[in-house]
A and B are shown apart, each in its own frame.
Chain A
Amino acid sequence: MATASTTSTLDVLRIRKDFPILNRKVNGQPLVYFDNAATSQTPQQVIDVIVDYYSNYNANIHRGVHALSQEATDAYEQARIKLQKHFNIPNAYQTLFTSGTTHGINIVASGFAEILKAGDEIIVSALEHHSNIVPWQMLCEKTGATLKVIPMTTSGELDMEGFDAILSEKTKLVFVNHVSNALGTVNPIEEIITKTHQVGGAVLVDGAQASPHIKANVQALDVDFYVVSGHKMCGPTGIGMLYGKEKWLEKLPPYQGGGEMIDQVTFEKTTYAGLPHKFEAGTPNICGGIAFGAAIDYMNAIGFEHIAAYEHELLTYATQKLQEIEGLRIYGESKHKTAVISFNIGDIHPYDIGTILDKLGVAVRTGHHCAQPIMDFYKIPGTVRASFSFYNTKEEIDIFVNAVRKAKSMLG
């Protein structure tokens, strides 16, 4: 049996020194940060890049003749190449900077508004972040297309027979997350992509939850679109990426009008600039892009295989310890999970547990995790969600499990 002190795959104590925030106290207790699925923490290496940008070469990009603008442009474009390499994207111009996953999804959804017709169908999964279902509902209202849903099973996985049943020649686009934010389930996106392509549809994968744990290879996946957020990958907020196959990026109309995206403007006609600028109107989050690149470097220096192996160790350890608590039920029991545990204890409200955990210095998420359909499926108001990162430790899991026991005794 694993004990609290055995950590095999990573030098976690050294890694923790990179994250200044992990030293802080909350309510007089040392912080145990288990809300990584909402936002990851930022290492000093990334913070330094942000400080360096504003201290030394803050300038607008792609426009200036002067040195600072050139330096900023170079750094921003180098960051794009880092993302391109990381996700194995064929060309830098298919690597679009966005403000985050939500923005990336909206670019694709609004582009499809011009492509879809009445009678077409879009498929989303029952495991989606509900704010990400809204753009598809709006799209359907606008175009007369129909929205279909891949059902889920009690173990928190997608029901693939249910998928087969709704997939057809009418399917134009399938939207699915690579990993569910509420339950941590890793979805069979390879199978979804292959089958959707067989009927001539495109697939947009929401990689927000997968990207901190799994290095996605967009060419091997043959995915049409892949979106991520920097703030879940040790980068800053307000920056993300959209990858698209070239044929799609050429076909989709621009999302916003503004500077950068334009080639020539006359009052008769505007010709759009080529990729990626067609989708990058206005001054972007330059510093955010550069820092996102630094965050990817940081994670790659540790190595995604090591990260995944170590987080799996944490997940196994925490699952086992939590299961020893009587009345505790874990939601999402897929064998393919990232380091996320969603749970409730008896009929204690998750918010009560979260409140007591916070008093004890443990940060978790409570509520429906923007996945109301999943909560409705289980007929619960929400769950407590603990999500681990590679800088967490088994000692922290022990503190967390003791805190959960304390909360149970106070509230039960």
Chain B
Amino acid sequence: MSSIQDIQQEIIEEFEMFDDWMQRYEYMIELGKSLPLIDEKYKTEEYIIKGCQSKVWVHADLKDDKIEFTADSDAIITKGIIAILIRSFSGQPPQAILDADTSFIDKIGLKEHLSPTRANGLVSMIKQIKLYAVAYQAKAES
């Protein structure tokens, strides 16, 4: 399994291939379609992320000491963003997720290109992913 850093580097390189925002967005929409979907039973208020104008649900499971994320959103661009996040964090141990830097989001031009309300959603998504890592880390230590 590649490290979070390697995966993020890979994502940055993929996004560098595009010359304009439209291609980036089209790619993001494609990525959104490949998102590992959350089980319908978790699409409830409890798993919803606040701070997004569109709905986002994220669920995490610990398998072999690694966190597997699934998610969904009712908006396709949001789904693309969450797919990028999950690709870099899913299948990683909690500590690695906690230590991970999220500035790659800036490097692929997402933060600067997204509207402020959406950017807030992005921040909330990262926070939620890190919270899952905190929770599983605490569980492992207890």
Contact = CB atoms under 8 A, between A and B. Distances in A.
A135 interface: no
A27 B76 CA distance: 21
Interface of B: 21-22, 25-26, 29, 53-55, 74-78, 113-115, 118
A93 B25 CA distance: 55
Contacts of B26: 410
A327 interface: no
Nearest to A411: B76
A352 B77 contact: yes
A409 to B, nearest CB: 10
B25 A349 contact: no
Main secondary structure on A side of the interface with B: helix
Main secondary structure on B side of the interface with A: helix
A355 B75 CA distance: 11
Interface in A338-383: 348-349, 351-352, 354-356, 358-359, 366-367, 381-382
Contact of B53 (A348, A358, A367): A367
B4 to A, nearest CB: 27
B25 A358 contact: no
Contacts of A349: 54, 74-76, 78
Given A349-B74, A359-B25, 7 more contacts: A349-B54, A351-B77, A352-B76, A355-B115, A355-B118, A381-B74, A411-B77
A354 B53 CA distance: 11
Contact of B113 (A348, A359, A411): A359
Nearest to B113: A359
Contacts of B77: 351-352, 355-356, 411
A410 B54 contact: no
B114 to A, nearest CB: 7
Interface of A: 27, 348-349, 351-352, 354-356, 358-359, 366-367, 381-382, 410-411
A352 B115 contact: no
A356 B55 contact: no
A359 B25 CA distance: 10
A356 B78 CA distance: 12
A411 B74 CA distance: 12
A367 B75 CA distance: 12
A356 B24 CA distance: 12
A27 B75 CA distance: 22
A359 B29 CA distance: 15
Nearest to A349: B75
A382 B53 CA distance: 10
A351 B21 contact: no
Contact of A411 (B21, B29, B54, B114): B29
Contacts of B115: 354-355, 358
A358 B21 CA distance: 12
Given A352-B77, A355-B77, A366 B53 contact: yes
A352 B75 contact: yes
Given A358-B115, A367-B53, A381-B54, A351 B25 contact: no
Contacts of A348: 76
B114 A355 contact: yes
Given A349-B75, A381-B74, A411-B76, A356 B25 contact: yes
29 contacts: A27-B21, A348-B76, A349-B54, A349-B74, A351-B53, A351-B54, A351-B78, A351-B118, A352-B54, A352-B77, A352-B78, A355-B77, A355-B114, A355-B115, A355-B118, A358-B115, A359-B21, A359-B25, A359-B113, A366-B53, A367-B53, A381-B54, A381-B55, A382-B53, A410-B25, A410-B26, A410-B29, A411-B76, A411-B77
Nearest to A381: B74
A354 B22 CA distance: 14
Contacts of A355: 77, 114-115, 118
B49 to A, nearest CB: 14
A366 B25 CA distance: 19
Contacts of A410: 22, 25-26, 29
B53 to A, nearest CB: 5
